[in-house]
Amino acid sequence: MKRERNLQINAHGRLQHFLTIEGLPRELLIEILDRAEGFAGIGGRAVKKVPLLRGKTIVNLFFEPSTRTRTTFELAAKRLSADVLNLNIESSSAKKGETLLDTLRNLEAMHCDMFVVRHHLSGAAHFIARNVAPHISVINGGDGRHAHPTQAMLDAYTIRRHKRDFMRLKVAIVGDVLHSRVARSEIHALKTLGVPEVRVVGPRTLIPAGVEEMGVSVCHDIETGLKNVDVIVMLRLQTERMRGALLPSAAEYFRLYGLTPARLKLARSDAIVMHPGPINRGVEIDSQVADGGRSVILQQVSHGIAVRMAVMAMTAGSQAG
C-alpha cells in the first residue's frame, strides 16, 4: 500500500497519478470533491471551457470498451482546454505486435502530458505509471477487477450532493462484487470518507472471500441487505470476467437479486439508487427503478465530467511543484 501511495503522490505531497483510492488520505478525497464542485457549473455555461490545461496534451488509451468513462474524460479534458488524442487500440500498431512500452515511448516522443488508461489487466495503470517519463501523469480509467478510482469519486460526489453527511449513512452495494473494480474502489472511498455502514449484498459465488477485512458487512439475502439503507449501488453482472457458471441464469439472478419497486421500498423512503453503468435492464435492475424518481444514474454520468476535471487539474498541477 505504501509503495502505491508513494507512486501516486509526488515529493511535494501532490497527486501525480490517480491509480487507486486505496491508501489515499481523506483530505485528498475531500479536495477532489470540492474541486469538482467548482467545475460542476461549467457544463451549464454558454462557453463550456476554462483555460486551466491549455497547451497540455492528454491521451485516452482504452484497451477495453467504454462509453461513459472515455467520453467524460474527453469532455473533461476539452473543458479544461487541453488537446485530446483518442488512440483507437483496435486500429493501432498494437495489433501489429507493438508492445505497450513501445507505444508509450512513441506517445512520449509526441510530448504528451497525461495518459488516461483502461485495461483488462489488473495493475496495468500502475505498470504504465512506473514506466512513463517523470513529467507524465497517469489516470486509471479501470484496470481488470482491481480499481476504477474516478468512478468511485463521482459516486461519492453524487452521494454528497444528495446526502451531505457521509458519517451518518448506510450504503448497500449489490450484485457481482467479486468481479467489480467499481465495488473495490467504492468501498475504499466510502470507508475513507467515514461512511459507518457499508453492506455488500449478493450470492456467495459473487462475493469475494475475506471482503469483510475491508470494513464491510456481507449479506446474501437482498431483503435484509436493503433494509433502511440510504444509498443502493447496483452492479452489473460482469459475465466477460466470469470463468465457469457462477449463476443459474440471468432470469433466476433477477428473481433473487434484481432491484424491483417492491424491494426498493425496504430502503429508506429517501434512498437513492445508483449504478455505474452500463445497466442490464431486467437482470440486475427493473426499468421502473432505473428510470424512476429515486434513480440518480444519469446524474452520476454528468458528475463524472466535473470529477474527472478535478482529478486532471490536480494531477497536471502536480507538475508545477
Contacts with ligand CP by CB under 6 A lie at 66-69, 142, 151, 276-278
Angle between helices 26-39 and 297-317 (to 10 degrees): 110
Nearer to ligand CP, 69 or 103 (CB): 69
> Do 157 and 301 touch, CB atoms closer than 8 A?
no
Which of 175/276 has CB closer to ligand CP? Answer: 276
Query: 9 or 178, CB closer to ligand CP?
Result: 178
Q: How far is the CB of 105 from ligand CP (least distance, A)?
A: 27
**Minimum CB distance to ligand CP smaller for 202 or for 277:** 277
Displacement of CA 129 from its chain's centroid (Å): 18
**Which residues, listed in sequence order, are joined to residue 295 by a DSSP beta bridge?**
273
Shortest Cβ distance from residue 19 to ligand CP (Å)? 16
- The rounded distance, in Å, linking the Cα atoms of 47 and 43 is 8
**Rounded Cα–Cα distance for residues 317 and 321 (Å):** 8
Q: Which is nearer to ligand CP, 142 or 225 (CB)?
A: 142
Residues 6+ apart with CB under 8 A from 93: 103
Between residues 60 and 315, which has the closer beta carbon with respect to ligand CP?
A: 60
Least Å distance, CB 139 to ligand CP, is 13
Cis before 278? omega within 30: yes
Grid cell digits, residue 20:
487507486
Minimum CB separation of residue 85 from ligand CP in Å reads: 18
- Whole-number minimum distance, CB 191 to ligand CP, in Å? 20
Smallest gap from residue 274 Cβ to ligand CP (A): 11
Q: Which residues pair with 201 in a beta bridge?
A: 174, 219
Half-sphere exposure of 159 (CA within 13 A, CB side): 29
| Residue 153 contacts residue 189 (beta carbons within 8 Å) | yes
Give the residue closest to ligand CP by C-beta. 69
